[in-house]
Amino acid sequence: MSRLSAIRPAYWISGVLLVVAIVVPLLVPTYARKDPHLWGFPFFYWYQLLWVFLSAILVSISYRLLRAEERRRRAEQGLGDPDKDGEQ
């Protein structure tokens, strides 16, 4: 069994989501233009602002995937819920 096959799908998905959230806004040629306008704003501005919200959504999805995977992994090992460990 290779090391890559041992990595859970949640980690792969989270990694891809985070790469998309970071790399796509850095591709300046995709949004370095004025048209089309949206409510009077040039494409250059509203596209960047759109990626602020999309990145927040992608990071949130990634966080939830990793938290669920961590809970599942801890339950398999009998370690308990990480959220309830500090409440004792």
Q: State residue 7 phi and psi, 5-degree precision.
A: -80, 130
Please write the tens of the pLDDT for every residue from 4-18.
556 688 888 999 999
Q: State residue 71 phi and psi, 5-degree precision.
A: -60, -45
The conformation of residue 41, written as its DSSP 8-state character, comes to B
Nearest to 48 by CA among 18, 24, 80: 24
- The whole-model pTM stands at 0.74
Please write the tens of the pLDDT for every residue from 47-73.
888 999 999 999 999 999 989 888 888
Tokens of 54: 């999309």
Q: How far apart (Å, rounded) are the C-alpha atoms in residues 52 and 54?
A: 6
